[in-house]
Amino acid sequence: MTILGPILFAALITLPVIITKWSDSDYSVAIVDDTKLFYDRFDDGNNVIFTHLHTDIDDALELLRREKFDAVLHIPEVAFESPSTLRLFTKKAVNINAKIHIENVLKHEFESLKLGARGLDKDVLRAVETNINIQAVRIMRDGMEQTDYPEVSMALGIISGLLIYMFIFLFGSQVLRGVLEEKTSRIVEVIISSVKPFQLMMGKIAGIAFVGLTQFLIWVFLTLLLVLTIQTAMPDMFQFTPDEQVHVTSAQMLNTEKLQEQMDTVQHHNTAAGQVLESLSAINWYVMIFSFIFFFLGGYFLYAALFAAIGSAVDNEADTQQFMLPVTIPLIFAIIFGQMVMLNPSGPVAFWLSIFPLTSPVIMMIRIPFGVPYFDLYLSAFMLIAGFLATTWLAAKIYRTGILMYGKKTGYKDLWKWIKHR
Say which amino acid occupies 367. R
- To the question of domain 24-148 being in CATH 3.40.50.170, the answer is no
State the pLDDT at residue 382.
94
What is the distance between the alpha carbons of residues 356 and 384, in angstroms, rounded to a whole number?
8
State the pLDDT at residue 249.
46
Question: What pTM was computed for the model?
Answer: 0.66
Please name the residues in contact with 125: beta carbons below 8 A apart, sequence gap of 6 or more.
Answer: 115
Cα dist from 70 to 46, 85, 96, 157, whole Å: 15, 20, 13, 21
Instruction: Give one DSSP letter per residue of 26-58, joined into a string.
Output: PEEEEEEETTSSSGGG---BTTEEEEE--S-HH
State the pLDDT at residue 112.
76
Q: Could you read off the pLDDT of 55-103 as tens digits, one per residue? A: 888 888 888 888 888 888 888 887 777 777 788 888 877 777 788 888 8
For residue 315, count other CB atoms closer than 10 A to its CB. Answer: 16
Residue ranges of the chain with pLDDT lower than 50?
Answer: 122, 244-254
Q: How do the domains of the chain map onto residue ranges?
A: 24-148, 152-216+283-420
If you ran DSSP here, which 8-state letter would residue 255 be given?
Answer: P
Q: How many residues are present in the chain?
A: 422
Q: Could you read off the pLDDT of 240-253 as tens digits, one per residue? A: 555 544 444 444 44
Identify the three-state secondary structure at position 316.
coil
State the pLDDT at residue 362.
92
